[in-house]
Amino acid sequence: MFVGNVPLVQIRGLRTYFYTDDGVVRAVDGVDLAIHPGKVLGIIGETGSGKTVLALSIMRLVQPPGRVVEGNILYAQGNGKQIDLALLDPKGRAIREIRGKHISMIFQEPMVSLNPLYTIGEQIVENILVHQKVTPKEARDIAIHMLERVGIPEPEKRIDDYPHSLSGGMRQRAMIAMALVCQPRLLIADEPTTALDVTVQAQILELLKDLQRQMGMAIMIITHNLGVIAEIADFVGVMYLGKIMEYATVVELFENPLHPYTKDLFRSIPYCVRRKNKKRLEVIKGDIPDPYAKVEGCLYASRCSWASKKCLEDPPSIERDTGHMVRCWLYV
C-alpha cells in the first residue's frame, strides 16, 4: 500500500491526555494513522471516542488541561522535508503558519469558527492577508471568488453579511470558503454536515467532494454517518476510546468488516445521506466505559459478544490483509 509514496501526515503513537481534577482522560491513546496526499480518510466512532481531540491534536489546538503527551505527527511540507507537529509550540509561529495555509479545519457548528462580530468577508479577507502577499482589494476579490466557488449566490453582496444573517447551510459554505481560501493541502472536517438537515447535508458533501477533486487536497473527515463515509472516503479508521480499532480502504471495510466494534457500529449508525433512514437502528449494548477509568485489556471487551478470557489482555494491532489493520484477539 503506497509503497514509496510519502504520506502527507504520518501519525505515530499519538497520545493526548486531559489532566483534570477528577483524573486523567486518555482521549487519544496511542494512535497510528497515515493521511495520504489527495486522499480522503474517514474517521468513525461513537461520541466520546476521541475523534475531535485527534483532529485538534493535529492542529495543535488542544487546550489545557489537555495536551499532546507523546508521539509524532509528521507532516510532509512539500519541500522533501518533514516537520513533527507534535514537537511545535502550540502558540508558536511555526504552527500558526501551517494552520490555515497548509492544514485547515472546519467544525460541525460554523459559529465555532465564524466570529459573529465581523462580516464573513472581513474574516475571509483577514485569513488571506495573513497567509498571502496580496493587497486588501485583491484579497476581497479572492474572497468573492471563493464564496462563488462554494455556491453562495450573489457573493459580491453576501460577502458583507454577518454570519447570523445566513442560513445554516450558507454559513457552512462560508466556513468552507474560509478554510479553503488559502488552498490547504489537508482539510480536517469534524462532523461538517451533522448540524444540517438531510438535503443540505448531501449538498455540502457534494461540494466538499467537488472541491477536493478540483484542488487535489487531502481530507480527514470525522462523522458518525456511514453514508458520508461511503460517499467520500478512500480509507477509514474506526475509533473507540482513543484507539484505532480497525483501519482499511473503504471498500474493504464495508465488504469485510473484522472488528466486533465495527460490525456493531454498522448495525447502529445511519447509512443514508440523502433520505431520512426509516429503518430502526440497533443500539450497541452496554455503555461506553467511564473515560476516567483505566481499562485493562481490550477496550471493547465489556460490550463485545465475542469477548473471551484472552481479552483481559490488550490485543495488538495486526495487519490481517494488506493495509487492513485490526486490533482484536479474534485475528491473532
Q: Which residues neighbour 191 within 8 Å (Cβ) at sequence distance 6 or greater?
A: 107, 108, 222, 223, 224
Dist CA 1 CA 249 (whole Å) = 10
Q: For the segment 35-54, give every residue that binds Mg ion (CB under 5 A).
A: 51-52
Closest CB to ligand ADP among 47 and 79?
47
Chosen from ligand ADP, Mg ion, none, partner binding at 8 (C-beta under 5 to 8 Å by type)? none
Q: How far is the CB of 63 from ligand ADP (least distance, A)?
A: 7
C-beta closer to Mg ion: residue 152 or 299: 299
**Minimum gap (Å) between residue 16 Cβ and Mg ion:** 13
Per partner kind, with CB cut-offs from 5 to 8 A, the member of ligand ADP, Mg ion, none near residue 48 is ligand ADP
Between 52 and 249, whose beta carbon lies closer to ligand ADP? 52
Phi, psi of 65 (to 5 degrees): -80, 15
Residue 225: closest CA among 8, 51, 57: 51
Nearer to ligand ADP (CB atom), residue 45 or residue 257: 45
Partner in contact with 25, chosen from ligand ADP, Mg ion, none, beta carbon below 5 to 8 Å by kind: ligand ADP
Q: Which residue is nearest to Mg ion (CB)?
A: 52
Q: Applying CB under 6 A, which residues contact ligand ADP?
A: 18, 20, 25, 27, 45, 47-53, 66, 291
Q: Where are the beta strands (DSSP E) in 36-191?
A: 40-44, 66-76, 82-84, 103-106, 186-190
Under the binding rule (CB under 5 A), the answer on residue 172 touching Mg ion is no
Report the length, in residues, of the chain.
Answer: 332
263 CB neighbour count, 10 Å cutoff: 16
Residues 276-315: x where in contact with Mg ion by CB under 5 A, - otherwise, as a string:
----------------------------------------
How far apart CA 145 and CA 159 sit, in angstroms, is 10
Contacts of residues 128-133 at CB distance under 8 Å and 24 or more positions apart, as own/partner, are 128/181, 128/182, 130/100, 131/97, 131/100, 131/101, 131/182, 132/182
Binding site for Mg ion (CB under 5 A): 51-52
